[in-house]
Structure 1
Amino acid sequence: MGCTHQDRVLIAGNGQAGVQLADSLRAEGFSGDLILVGEEQALPYQRPPLSKDYLAAGGAAPAPLPLRGENFFTDHRVHHRTGVGVTGIDRDGHTVSLSDGSVLVYSKLVLATGAANRNLSCPGAELAGIHGLRTLADARAVHARLDAVRSVVVVGAGFIGLEFASAARARGIEVTVLEYAGRPMARALSPAMSEWFAAAHREMGTDLRLGEGIASFTGDDGGQVTAAVSTTGAAYPADLVLAGIGVIPRTELAEAAGLAVDNGIAVDAHLRTADEDIYALGDCASYPQAHAGARMRLESVQNATDQARHLAKTLLGTHGPGDAGYAELPWFWSTQGKLKLQIAGLSAPGDETVLRGDPEAGKFSVFCFRDRVLAAVESVNQPGDHLAARRLLAAGRSLAPEQAADPEFDLKAWSKAVPVG
């Protein structure tokens, strides 16, 4: 049953998912009480630029890009509580406790608590100058140091680590990246694309060390980091260290309330927990992924935004007949220097890969096939390929590997064609 005008929806978390849900609820016609609670004092902001444009800029730190303008919350009658977090859930009483001691009643509770940086635990990890990069406070702390540093060590060659490495290289800083795995972005990319990015970053001047993790850090008498020691025993000078070793979903509220957790807060296809009045979405939620045929948790702006739009309709009962739950196609992007990586779909180990375009010119795509059916497309500076891939995958259509490999094949026209039958 959908919400009524008398209901109160309380959203715990004012990041991408939480703010979009508030926006979508009002857009769908919800007229009840709408409360949005967030731990940070700042107006909700876009996180992706923090590891790219924000850090590439010299001089004074630029203002973060807001998710919505200052007047949005007043204009849309969203009671926005900043600087406080939800500390507990009373499921029987339908209330939440906040960090300022107050208690709020809810009809429907949505957990949009996001994720937190995974912390380094090796010797010396407590030294000053070792940073994570997820919040505005993190980005400001790193930006404040970049004008004064000469050498940086990045631990982890994932999206965040390589985005930061690109921004630091653009400022002329010497960068070493330590990655325990044998290739960069190994969880997200096919081997062919991963290896191409390894070469591209080395061409940028980054000292990319693969198969080499972090063992410890050394510092000076003042407690400031001075070097990173890798698993090979080599020491790399570091005026600053950026840890990009992944994130952990924030599930503590759900766990304390007795809700199931499975690499995230476990929800069904309608983003609902086992409690019919509590939902979860975004980086903190583990859900049955329709395109993968498995339960998973996705960390992306697209997933947070699309889940929020879907959940707004679910809460209001406006999906219409036949709604089977959230089934949007996953897609991702990462900007690393002049390289824009876009991914549509989900690749897997063992996929057959087909190259299309010109890797030497930095404009190409890798098409990933599973049993000769298109599963994912990874594109570098090829937005046309990316859009065509999204159309095909969202519609459940494919093309043959031979067609993808043929430079004369009109991919755009094929993706727009009406399927026969």
Structure 2
Amino acid sequence: MGEPRRIVIVGTGLAGATAAGALRDKGYTGEVLMLGQEAHRPYELPALSKGILLGQTDEPDWVHDEDTYARRDIELRLSTVVSEIRLAAHEVVSEDGTHHPFDRLLLATGSQPRRPVMTGVHLDGLHLLRTLDDARALRAELDAGRRVVIVGAGWIGCEVAAAARRNGCEVTVVEPMPLPLYRILGDTIAEVFHDLHAEEGVTWKLGVGVFGFTGDEAGRVTGVSLDDGSELPSDVTVVAVGAAPRVELAHAAGLELAGAVSGGGLDVDECLRTSAPDVYAAGDIAAHAHPRYGHRVRVEHWATAKDQGAHVAGNLLGGAEPYTASPYFFSDQYDLGLEFRGIADPMADELVVRGDLRAREFIAFWVRGDEVRGALNVNMWDDGDALSALVDGDIRVDRTKLADGDLASLVG
């Protein structure tokens, strides 16, 4: 597989923009075209639910400086919707009818927030959070004293709750699970986050679902109806019930999808190549045949989009290097900061805790057999390299040493 003359990237998020930059870093001199439907140049997402909502910044972290695209001869077409991929013709077609031929194609279309199917979900004023415009619109409503109801207690829901409380809002979070982040962290660690938000003044409505949303005569949402028959009045309503990969283009083109992976996605092999020659995928959309885990993995976090974008550039140029990095993400809520590495199943893996849960200074390990499958450090920052090595390497561990021993000595 020789070097292509023209590479088209569909998607102007972190994965696509990182790939474009990496192509130039590797000395590629052919054409690079990026197509994306947003009006803003590529940016990273973490600040949307953190710094922007907190009022600490008006801007996200931009993937590249504004002049980078022209200076590095990367053609960036914003506000452009791609309507079709024609695999046989090796071209994509945008909504305005323009045909864009490619030698290699990278799909980096990302994901979109899930909108539940229920009464009132299309009322004005109901907030989803995925884009810079979403974040700015939500922040404009987080005024002190306003009643904010958040549906969903995953990472986004918890971060929005923290930002709203810091802005002086009255916050209620509705979640059908018994605890926030329950499926991700299990009951012991999830309890830490429950107590943190409760101490900060968040009201929890746990173990109850949402029936629908009510509105006023102007068609604006004013309340959240719960399936126990009660209703929560709301000045600001946020739905944070997860995201879905944007696979419509890939599906219509006949590319193989990943039905067995939670949340779906687009099938890619170890090298991030799809079922079609010359077509690759990276970021939220990619259900990756991960060589370390022995099954497909689809991750929606910042680090995966960035790392896969950088990695896939070499394969777009003719390489065949497997992507082997373990997932990583971070979160900030009030004065609690955390990093999570790996993939764990808190309902099946054994939990080992190092440090003090009550002080919220600890490391949690999820162990399967004698291997660390996942590691979460909370307000402890000195052991990042050791945690990465434990998660990434084929290292047999002793649970007692995980809890009390020298972590560096475990990784050699």
TM bin (shorter chain):
over 0.9
Q: CA deviation at 1:386?
A: 3.7
Shift of 1:413: 4.3
Partner of 1:192: 188
CA distance in 2, matches of 1:122, 1:245: 13
SS in 2 for 1:354: strand
Q: What code does the residue aligned with 1:81 have?
A: R
Aligned residues: 406
Give the corresponding residue for 1:8.
6
Q: 2:188, 2:388 → 1: CA distance?
A: 20
Change (3 A) 1:394 1:85: same
Corresponding residue number in structure 2 for 1:346: 343
Tell me, in whole angstroms, the C-alpha distance in 1 between the residues paired with 2:9 and 2:379. 37
Contact persistence 1:343–1:386 (CA under 8 A) = no
How far is 1:148 from its partner?
7.0
1:145 aligns with 2:141: yes
Q: How does 1:12-411 map to 2 (within 5 A)?
A: 12-57=10-55, 62-147=58-143, 150-262=146-258, 263-317=264-318, 323=321, 325-348=322-345, 349-406=347-404, 409-411=405-407
**Contact 1:378 1:386 (8 Å CA) reproduced:** no
What is the Cα deviation at residue 92 of structure 1? 1.3
1:2 Cα deviation after fit: 4.0
**1:384-416 residue CA offsets vs partner (Å, 9 max, x unmatched):** 23432112222322421110121xx2213433x
The amino acid of 1:140's aligned partner reads R
Report the alpha carbon displacement of residue 292 of structure 1 after superposing the two structures with TM.
2.8
Aligned letter for 1:371?
G
Deviation at residue 227 of structure 1 after TM alignment: 1.5
Query: In structure 1, what is the Cα distance between the partners aligned to 2:179 and 2:53?
Result: 25
Task: Return the letter of the residue paired with 1:411.
Answer: L
- AA at the equivalent of 1:83: S
Deviation at 1:229, TM superposition (A): 1.5
Pair 1:367–1:148, CA change in 2 (3 A):
closer
Deviation of 1:167 (Å): 0.1
Distance apart, 1:119 and its partner CA: 0.4
2-side partners of 1:346 and 1:36: how far apart? 31
Partner SS, residue 192 of structure 1:
helix
Q: Distance in 1 between matches of 2:176 and 2:381?
A: 31
Contact 2:280 2:316 in 1 (8 A): no
Cα contact 2:144–2:169 (8 A) shared by 1: no
Contact persistence 1:365–1:385 (CA under 8 A): no
Q: State the secondary structure of the residue aligned to 1:96.
A: strand
What is the one-letter code of the residue matched to 2:323?
Y
Q: Deviations over 1:175-218 (max 9, x none)?
A: 00001112212332233211211111111111122111111222
The one-letter code of the counterpart of 2:329 is F
Rounded to whole Å, the distance in 2 between the matches of 1:293 and 1:318 is 22
Q: Identity across aligned pairs (percent)? A: 38
Q: Describe the shift of the 1:174–1:141 C-alpha distance in structure 2 as closer, same or farther (beyond 3 A).
A: same
- State whether residues 2 and 314 of structure 1, in contact with CA within 8 Å, keep that contact through their aligned partners in structure 2: no
Letter in 1 for 2:296: R
Q: Using the TM superposition, give the Cα deviation of residue 316 of structure 1 relative to its aligned residue in structure 2, in angstroms.
A: 2.2
Q: Is the 8 A contact 2:41 2:62 kept in 1?
A: yes
Question: Contact 2:144/2:167 (CA < 8 Å) preserved in 1?
Answer: no
**Structure 1 347/220 Cα, relative in aligned 2: closer, same or farther at 3 Å?**
same
Q: CA deviation at 1:147?
A: 2.5
Worse-superposed segment, 105-114 or 394-403: 394-403
Q: Return the TM-score normalized by structure 1.
A: 0.93
Deviations 1:199-243 (A, max 9, x none): 111111111221111112222222222211212222212101110
Looking at structure 1, the residues matched to 59 and 384 of structure 2 have their Cα atoms a distance apart, in angstroms, of 30
Q: 1:336 to 1:398 in 2, by over 3 A?
A: farther
Assess if the C-alpha contact under 8 Å between 1:12 and 1:36 holds in 2. yes
* Displacement after TM superposition at 1:41 (Å): 0.9
Cα distance in 2 for residues equivalent to 1:317 and 1:378: 36
**Which blocks of at least 5 consecutive residues in structure 2 are unaligned?**
259-263
Q: What is the CA distance between 1:307 and its match in structure 2?
A: 1.2
CA RMSD of aligned residues (A): 1.6
Is the 1:346–1:376 Cα contact (8 Å) retained in structure 2? yes
Residues 375, 393 of structure 1: 8 Å contact kept: yes
> Which string of whole-angstrom CA distances, capped at 9 and with x for unpartnered residues, describes residues 325-368 of structure 1?
11111111111121112111111121111110112221101111
Residues 290/382 of structure 1: CA separation in 2 closer, same or farther (3 Å cut)? farther
* Cα pair 1:344 1:386 within 8 Å, conserved: no
What is the CA deviation profile of residues 243-297 of structure 1, one whole-angstrom value per residue up to 9, with x for unaligned ones? 0001111011111111111111111111111111111111011111233321121
After superposing the two structures, state which structure 1 stretch, 235-244 or 210-219, moved more: 210-219
CA contact (8 A) 1:377 1:386 kept: no
Question: What letter matches 2:107 in structure 1?
Answer: L
Contact preservation (8 Å) 2:9, 2:105: yes
Shift of the alpha carbon at 1:318? 5.1
Q: Tell me: CA distance 1:42–1:140, structure 2 relative to 1, closer, same or farther (3 Å).
A: same
Task: Report the Cα distance in structure 1 between the residues aligned to 2:291 and 2:382, rounded to whole angstroms.
Answer: 25
